[in-house]
Amino acid sequence: MINREKYLLQLLNYKDTKTIKVITGMRRCGKSTLLRLFKQHLLDNNINEDHIIYMNFESLIYDEYKEYMKLYKFISKQIKSNKKHYILLDEIQQVDAWEKTVNSLAVDFDVDIYITGSNAYLLSSELSTLLSGRYVEIKMLPLSFKEYLIFDAENKKSIDEKFEEYLKYGSLPILFEHKKNDLIFNNLLIGVYNTVLIKDVIERNKINDIVLMENIVRLALDNIGNIISGKRISDYISRDGKKTTHITVLNYLKMLENAYILYPVRRYDLKGKNYLKTMEKYYAVDMGIRNAVLGYRNVDRGHILENIVYLELLRKGYEVCIGKYKDYEIHFVVTKANCKKYYQVTQIISNEDILNRECRSLEAINDNYEKIILSMDRSYILDRNGIKFQNILDFLLED
C-alpha cells in the first residue's frame, strides 16, 4: 500500500474526536486502501488490534450484518472495555439504515468512527439531520499527478512522457496493480466504469431506460469543459428519434454526479454577483475512464487540460466556479478562506492571438485578486499587466 499522505493527514487531524469521519469518492479511487493505511497507522502507534473494529461490506464475511440492528449488536459485542475503540466501516452504504447504527455507537460508547461510501446519497439530508454537526466529509479523488509520479517511480520515462500517460490512462490506483498495456488498462477502466454505472446509478435509481442513461453519460463525457444544458442534450438525443425531456436529462446528470462520475461546476456572474441558474459545465472524475468510454484520441486537448486543472483545484481545497464577466468567460474562479484567484487554462500561449484572447478575459476584471494563465508553454516571460503565467506541470507539482 502506497501512502496517500494528504488524505491520511486529514484523518489524523480528526483522530480521537467524536466527529464521525466520512470518506466519499468514486469506487476504486482509493478509499478502502486509505482505511487500511489508517488501521496500520493505529497498529504502528501501539493501538491494540482488539480495539480496532474493521469491516468491509463488499466482503461476504459481513453479509449477515447488512441490517442496522444486527450490525449494532455485532459491533457492541466487540467493545469489551471502556478504553477507546476505533470503528472502520468500508462501503457502509450497503447496510440498510446504517446511519442509525453509527449514530447510536457514537452516543453509547467511547469510539472513534471512520466510514467510506461510493455515492453522494451517503450524506443525504436525512443523514445530515441525524448526525448534524457531528461529521466531517473527506472528499477523495483519484491520484493527483504528484501522487501518480510516486506510484510510477520505477518508470524511467521523463516527466513529460509520464504526463502524457496520465492524460491517456487516467489516475485510478488500480492501474498500478498491472503491467502497462493498452488492452489491459482499457478492460480495467471499462470494468470500473460499468460497475459504477450499474451499481451506483442504474440499480440504485431503478433506471429502466439504460440506453438513454448511456447516451447521456457519453454526451457529458464528450463535452467536458463545454457549457451544456439539459435542453441541449434532450434536443440532441431527440434528433436521433429517441424522445426525452430536459427534466429527465437533468435527473440523470444528477445521478451521475451522485456516483462521482461527473462533477458539475456552476457559473458565477462576477458583475451581478450571483450564480446563474442554467448552463453549467461538467468535468469527468478521471481521464482514463473518459478515454476508455469514448475511445483514445488526441483531440480536445485544451478541455482535457482544463479538466485536469479543475480536479487539482479541488484537491487543493478550493471552492470552484466558472466566471462570467460581461461577455467574457473566466475558466475558474476559486476561493478558500480569504483567498480568491482567477485561472485561465489553455494548451499554448506562444500563439499571439490565443495569448491576447486569454489575457483579455482577465484584464477585463477590475480588481486586485491574483490572475493566472496556465499552459503547457515555458517562457522567460512570467507576467503581463499583472497576469501571471505558469506551466501546468509546475502547477500540478507545487505544494
- Give yes or no for a contact between 57 and 89, defined as CB atoms under 8 angstroms apart: yes
pLDDT of residue 125: 53
> For the chain, which residues score pLDDT lower than 70?
125-128, 132
Q: Any idea how long the chain is?
A: 399
Residue 143's φ and ψ, nearest 5 degrees, are: -60, 135
- Give yes or no for a contact between 82 and 48, defined as CB atoms under 8 angstroms apart: no
Instruction: Please give the C-alpha separations between residue 315 and each of 104, 139, 144, 167, 310, in angstroms, as whole numbers.
Output: 32, 9, 8, 17, 9
pLDDT of residue 351: 84
- Give yes or no for a contact between 92 and 117, defined as CB atoms under 8 angstroms apart: yes
Cβ-Cβ contacts under 8 Å for 326 (sequence gap 6 or more):
271, 364
Let me know the angle formed at the C-alpha of 12 by 6 and 13, rounded to the nearest 5 degrees: 90
Q: Encode pLDDT of 221-244 as tens digits.
A: 999 999 998 999 999 898 877 889
Mean pLDDT score of the chain, rounded to an integer? 92
pTM above 0.85? yes
DSSP string, 375-393: ES---S--EETTEEEEEHH
Strand order in the sheet with 111-117: 52-56, 85-90, 111-117, 20-24, 135-139
**Phi-psi category of residue 226: left, alpha or beta, with phi > 0 → left and psi -120 to 50 → alpha:** beta
User: Cα–Cα distance between 281 and 299 in angstroms, integer?
Assistant: 18
pLDDT of residue 74: 97
For the record, the C-alpha cell of 5 comes out as 499522505
Which DSSP symbol is given to 262? E
Q: In 3D, which of 260, 237, 259 has the Cα closest to residue 248?
A: 237
Q: Is 368 helix (H, G, I), strand (E, B) or coil?
A: coil
For the record, the C-alpha cell of 99 comes out as 446511519
